[in-house]
Structure 1
Amino acid sequence: MKKEGICRICGNYGKLTFEHVPPQSAFNSKPVLFQKSVHIHDKNSYLYGKKIRSNQGAGGYYLCKSCNNLTGSYYGDSYKKFAYKGMMALTNRVWASRVITFEYAIQPLNVLKQILSMFMAIDTSDQLLHLEGLSSFLLNKDSQTFPKNLRVFIYHTSTKQVRNGWGMARTSKGYHYLGEITYPPFGLVYSLDSEPTRDDFFEITDFKNYKFNQTVQGRLSIPFLTPKTYIPGLYN
């Protein structure tokens, strides 16, 4: 039976469909245990400290059928190919000071939009839904108009500890407002109105400057990190 609620991309109320985060074709087809923000941050909730088992893979009932189909058809295959290359790089372990350098053929704008679709899907605070211009950036495949206070980063990881959440972290650099998704081969991070928790993330915000379906070839040097806890932003 389909669940009902507010679609986290278009903001309309109605039936929701299961959204895989990351896409099912990007190694996300097996059962997983994961925690959302309420399991990590809300000590007053009966869910605090618990985990969720998803037999369909990581994800949930986040998006309406229209937004799910649209983002999946526009951007899902591009992210799948990027993830497959990333897994190849991770498997071959081309290291240089904890950085994996590999040659990628990538559709940058498509990949960025898929990543942001995933972040919007898991954001129970709706701060991304209400961030001016972000929904239209995703729903218009050709749009390159991107919120100036949002930055996006990636890193390599092999952790089996799934992080799909958003929140605040505090480091020696100060307070950070961020979201994070970890699912091998990548960890994905956004920062909003703040600096990232680390200086060595590989930033992909400028992927917005490419055109839809534009393919480029390039050598990416992406750090390898291991999340420390389920709390976003902290690493071993």
Structure 2
Amino acid sequence: MKSNKGNCHLCGEFKELTFEHIPPKAAFNDTPILIQKHEHLFDKKSYVYGKSIRSNNGSGSYCFCKTCNNNTGTWYARDFSEFVAQADNHFNGVEKINRANLIEFHFKPLNVLKQILTMFLAIDHSNFLKKDKELVNFILEKDNNSLPDKYQVYLYNTISKHKRLYGIQWNNFNGTMNTHSEITFNPFGYFLTVDSPPPIDTMTNITDFKKFQFNEIKKYIIPLTYLKTDNMYIGQYD
């Protein structure tokens, strides 16, 4: 059997890595998926350019050790998946998805935010996020509310056959250098900024979810902008 040893994207220890579903398996990530990496999309000299690879496990990668995978899965994944299911139920019950939507959620804000950040750590192969101990501790300590202000997390609605799992990237939106990461998986898009503005100002900033307690339940109406993500570029929408 192939060994998947490496440095865990959370604790940083060199261990056998387990498969992390991104997003969690219960959040509609339980079927095979076709994946295109950088060389499939952009490297015209590569023999795999324009092709894709099949992941029978769904979207994800070997990035967390067993302990970190189990802990984050137990603490956050179920509550996050219920949050996603509420949005999915809403959109399945409407005839048309509007550009601007108001959805009522009954959920655990801190748990949801920590799962989203767990996903961003999972897809970051640059080690940029893992090096920030304050960020890592915010995730690995379930009662921790101390997320540094430089991290802002945004949410939007999307229904697209194309998914995005873009780890930390540096780009030049609007004439300024920005640090961004993005994940899309129906019915949501998740956008992380680091000391940077978001690409558009209609995304919903959910960073204040950090102010709640672990397992604290709230009922909120959240505004969500619908964005099409059919192209391949981070922060760009059709």
Give the TM interval when normalised to the shorter protein: over 0.9
- Rounded to whole Å, the distance in 2 between the matches of 1:199 and 1:44 is 37
| 8 A Cα contact 1:10 1:135, kept in partner | yes
Q: Percent identity?
A: 39
Q: Deviations over 1:98-149 (max 9, x none)?
A: 1121110010000000000011001011111012401111110000011221
- Following superposition, the deviation at residue 9 of structure 1 comes to 0.6
**Letter in structure 1 aligned against 2:165:** N
How far apart in 2 are the matches of 1:28 and 1:143?
28
* Residue deviations 1:64-89 (CA, integer Å, cap 9, x gap): 00000000000011101000011112
Distance (Å, rounded) in 2 between the aligned partners of 1:45 and 1:128? 29
Map of 1:168 onto structure 2: 170
Matches within 5 A, 1:76-115: 76-93=77-94, 98-115=99-116
- Return 5+ residue gaps in structure 1 as ranges: none
Question: Taking structure 1 as the reference length, what is the TM-score of the superposition?
Answer: 0.92
Residue of structure 2 in register with 1:53 after alignment = 54
Q: Which whole-Å CA distance do the structure 1 matches of 2:97 and 2:61 have between them?
A: 37
Distance in 2 (alpha carbons) for counterparts of 1:39 and 1:182: 18
CA 1:44–1:74: 2 relative to 1, 3 Å = farther
Deviation at 1:47, TM superposition (A): 6.0
Alpha-carbon displacement from aligned partner over 1:4-58 (angstroms, at most 9, x marks no partner): 1110011011100000000000000011122345655677876665533211100
Q: Which residue does the alignment assign to 1:73?
A: 74
> Is the partner of 1:15 in helix, strand or coil?
strand
Within a 5 Å distance, the mapping from 1:80-159 to structure 2 comes to 80-93=81-94, 98-159=99-160
Deviations 1:151-173 (A, max 9, x none): 10111111110111122343336
Matched with 1:21 is 22
Q: 1:131 to 1:207 in 2, by over 3 A?
A: same
Match of 1:57, SS state, is coil
Counterpart of 2:223 in structure 1 is 221
The count of residues paired between Structure 1 and Structure 2 equals: 236
Distance in 1 between residues matched to 2:194 and 2:39, nearest whole Å: 20
3-state DSSP of counterpart to 2:71: helix
Counterpart position of 2:188 = 186
What SS class does the counterpart of residue 75 from structure 1 fall into? helix
Range with bigger deviation, 165-174 or 81-90: 165-174
Structure 2 length-normalised TM: 0.91
3-state SS of the aligned residue for 1:71?
A: helix
Counterpart residue identity of residue 231, structure 1 = Y
Q: Which moved more, 1:18-27 or 1:95-104?
A: 95-104
Q: Relative to structure 1, is the Cα distance of residues 37 and 119 closer, same or farther in structure 2, using a 3 angstrom cutoff?
A: farther
AA of the residue aligned to 1:67: C
| Gap runs ≥5 in structure 2 | none
Measured on the aligned residues, the alpha-carbon RMSD in Å equals 2.1
Counterpart Cα distance in 2 of 1:47 and 1:134: 36
The amino acid across from 2:33 in the alignment is V
